[in-house]
Amino acid sequence: MSGGAPLLEIDRLSVEFRGRDGTSRAVDDVSLTLHAGEIVAIVGESGSGKSVTSLAVMRLIPDPPGRIAAGRILLDGIDLATLDEAALRRIRGKDLAMIFQDPMSSLNPVLTVGRQIGEAIRLHDGGDDTSIHARIIEVLELVRIPQAELRINQYPHQLSGGMRQRVMIAMALSCGPQVLIADEPTTALDVTIQAQIMALLRDLRERLGTAILLITHDLGVVAENADRVVVLYGGRKVEEGPVDAVIRSPRHPYTRGLIGSMPHLDNELVAGERARLTEIQGSVPANAGSLPGCGFADRCELADDHCRAVRPPLAEVVPGRLSACWKHELLRETGI
Amino acid sequence: MTALLEVSDLVKRFAQPRSVIDRLRGKEASAVQAVSGVSLTIGANETLGLVGESGCGKSTVGRCILRLEKPESGTIRLAGDDISSLGEADLRPLRSRLQVVFQDPFASLNPRRTVGDAVAEPLRNFTGLRGADLAAEVAELFERVGLRRDQIGRYPHEFSGGQRQRVGIARAIGPRPDLIILDEPVSALDVSVQAQVINLLMDLQEDFGLSYLFIAHDLAVVRHISQRVAVMYLGQIVETGPRDAVFAHPRHPYTASLLSAAPILDPAKRSAAKRIILTGDLPSPSNPPSGCRFHTRCPFVQPVCRSTAPEPVHTGSGQTAACHFPL
């Protein structure tokens, strides 16, 4: 972890959505920090609040029905949570950029790739057509798109899935953001293309010092690419720590369950036999966030009445590692 | 040994739509060859994992075996009988022996019918069960796949993704098939739920003596459930063999690169040196590369690979690889 002030600091963020059945909290009291040149992963299953967190940072939560109910989002000291739309427009795409899961639905099908990348440059940095053109070519080459001069005039449908995702990344990088939010950047891609894109993101971090907030459900991607990981469950942070330490010895039963239930290529299998995967019983309850006790208690084999009645605080269990579990001591010696 | 399913030299083409102008000019319709000469066998009570990236034709193989598509050429033998050219009427009795579970359980359930109805339908079609017996069998199936009896009268939207996939599985095992084609059955599910469904599939296989064709893009999932593996690239099988052999010593460079691209959890087992990151994208199946179809992306390509298509060769321990220079 690098010293100094963090580039991005999410401080006790809560996001609520109003519906017919009352208000539900999608993100509840989540804090995290991101330093320059760092890759921090937010991992969780559907409904964990990981995407809502990233949208809140971009201030893209549709209001109504959603709203940031509490907390601050500090980017270089400026609180994004309170900025007005005009001020946000100056920051979005400039200091803070985002890439989305599905490049096909996030690119405009009737505009050329060059036009779409040029839009942010024109808006934030300005310049004449020649300098904008040169900058577009530069970012296309930055994300290693071959034949940039040809691609600049092509439409999204003429590109493969991996190429489209590179265009998305080029667009995000066009104005040299300090912070890049990558929401499931490789989920829609094949494994060989996924490896290319993640290598590209790591490389950009090295070359440009961009801080990356990586949102994913895939612990394998986290393990290989992130420095620190934040595990969300039911809208709350349940564990945080350096990636290798968390994966080697998780200190929250949910993290342990996620690792155990994930088929991965490096777990031991007996030759000729098939191995059962460790299951997490049940599924994420819709009301995990509003339960009085631990949101994971219903699915946890360690849970007792105390867990169901009193919410466990997020506590530092080892220096640099947080866990929200009353029983974290029991997990100390169990690895994968 | 006679295999339960024996597919040989399966070919499936899809005609590409022509524009009006091309039609008026009398231009020939071009075709995409989705499957180009695939052969595979599945034994009784065995799981064959069919792996490949999107667009490689793995789902089309499954659909041809189910005879949801009519193959261009090649034979598909189920317990010895050639089913590749049967007509609709002759296919009907076959449907009870061959079942399918699709990726998206919501899209494959009728939203206006109860899930109990969905599970009862194949039973009504293929068994003599009626009335109370039918209801009892449906209840039995629900319990077998881990759903509750009181959920029989509910509608698909009331279920989570994992539960819907359980409904799909109950429907597939109802007519007591010999073979189930599982087309990406867990890729739409959350990790924790995915494990539940994989374990359920393995249990059912033992209880009912089922054979599976498990189609997936995720190598780690395939490794858990399969006894044998077949790897597809651009419409062809490039490598087959017993699971342990293929995963421990892949012989085809494509298999090796797929394996090395998959993320490894344990930092101690990770070594950056062994990693092969493929460059470029999957070529278009409508215009596959000459010679070995993998040569445009292969890190070990030689001149002969560009001109001559390699035949599958036995490389020991039951493995075959279609490569001039197996690893």
User: pLDDT (tens digit, 9 = 90+) per residue, A212-245?
Assistant: 999 998 888 999 899 999 999 989 999 999 999 9
Mean pLDDT of A19-25: 82
Model pLDDT for residues B268-316, shown as the tens digit of each residue: 777 654 677 787 777 877 788 999 999 999 999 999 999 999 999 998 8
Please tell me which residue of chain B has the smallest CA distance to A270.
B244
In sequence order, the 6+-apart residues with CB closer than 8 A to the CB of A223 are A243, A244, A247, B263, B264, B265, B266, B267
CB contact under 8 A, B227 and A274: yes
In sequence order, the 6+-apart residues with CB closer than 8 A to the CB of B204 are B144, B145, B169, B173, B210
* Residues on chain A touching B210 (C-beta within 8 angstroms): none
Helices in chain B by DSSP H: which ranges? 20-24, 58-65, 88-91, 115-126, 131-144, 161-173, 191-208, 219-225, 243-248, 253-261, 303-307
* Residues on chain B touching A192 (C-beta within 8 angstroms): 53, 257-258, 261, 277-278
In this structure, what token pair is assigned to residue B289?
Answer: 């590369």
Chain B nearest-CA distance from A85, in A, is: 35
pLDDT in the model for residue A9: 95
Identify which of B192, B217, B264 has the shortest CB distance to residue A224.
B264
* Residues on chain B touching A267 (C-beta within 8 angstroms): 265
CB contact under 8 A, A283 and B162: yes
ipTM reported for the complex, 2 dp: 0.79
Distance CA B155, CA B240 (A): 41
pLDDT in the model for residue A159: 86
Asked whether the CA dihedral B106, B108, B114, B118 is positive or negative, the reply is negative
Model pLDDT for residues B209-268, shown as the tens digit of each residue: 999 999 998 888 999 899 999 999 999 999 999 999 999 899 999 999 988 888 888 777
Distance CA A198, CA A189 (A): 11
At residue B1, does pLDDT exceed 60?
no
Give the pLDDT band (50/70/90) at residue A335.
very low
Please tell me which residue of chain B has the smallest CA distance to A262.
B191
CB contact under 8 A, A269 and B223: yes
Cβ-Cβ pairs closer than 8 A, A with B, add up to: 139
pLDDT in the model for residue B269: 72
* Residues on chain B touching A259 (C-beta within 8 angstroms): 265
pLDDT in the model for residue B272: 54
CB contact under 8 A, B261 and A220: no
pTM of the model: 0.86
In this structure, what token pair is assigned to residue A261?
Answer: 């239930």
Give the pLDDT band (50/70/90) at residue B33.
confident
CB contact under 8 A, A224 and B277: no
Total residues found in chain B within this entry: 327
Please tell me which residue of chain A has the smallest CA distance to B255.
A192
At residue A3, does pLDDT exceed 70?
no
* Residues on chain B touching A280 (C-beta within 8 angstroms): 192, 195-196
The CA radius of gyration of chain A, in Å to the nearest whole number, is: 21
Please tell me which residue of chain B has the smallest CA distance to A256.
B192
pLDDT in the model for residue A336: 41
**Which residue would you say has higher pLDDT here, A13 or B260?**
A13
DSSP string, B103-130: S-TTTTS-TTS-HHHHHHHHHHHHS---
Whether the upstream peptide bond of residue A6 has omega within 30° of 0, thus cis, is no
Chain B nearest-CA distance from A157, in A, is: 14
CB contact under 8 A, A192 and B262: no
From chain A residues 85-114, the ones with a CB under 8 A of any chain B CB are none
pLDDT in the model for residue B98: 93
In this structure, what token pair is assigned to residue A126?
Answer: 């300005």
* Residues on chain B touching A336 (C-beta within 8 angstroms): 265-266
Is the separation of the CB atoms in A179 and A213 below 8 Å? yes
Q: Average pLDDT of chain A? A: 87
Mutate which of B165, B184, B191, B282 to disrupt the A interface (most A C-beta within 10 Å)? B191
Q: Average pLDDT of chain B? A: 89
* Residues on chain B touching A161 (C-beta within 8 angstroms): 54, 281
Model pLDDT for residues A270-304, shown as the tens digit of each residue: 666 677 888 888 777 776 667 788 989 988 989 99
In this structure, what token pair is assigned to residue B205?
Answer: 């296989």
DSSP string, B232-272: EETTEEEEEEEHHHHHHS--SHHHHHHHHHS--S-GGG--G
Chain A nearest-CA distance from B124, in A, is: 31
Model pLDDT for residues B119-150, shown as the tens digit of each residue: 999 999 998 888 899 999 999 999 999 999 99
Q: What percent of chain A is predicted at pLDDT more than 90?
A: 42
The CA radius of gyration of chain B, in Å to the nearest whole number, is: 21
CB contact under 8 A, A195 and B277: yes
CB contact under 8 A, A191 and B282: no
From chain A residues 203-262, the ones with a CB under 8 A of any chain B CB are 217-221, 223-224, 244, 247-248, 257-262
* Residues on chain A touching B217 (C-beta within 8 angstroms): 190-191
Please tell me which residue of chain A has the smallest CA distance to B205.
A274
CB contact under 8 A, B261 and A194: yes
Q: What percent of chain B is predicted at pLDDT more than 70?
A: 98
Distance CA A325, CA A257 (A): 14
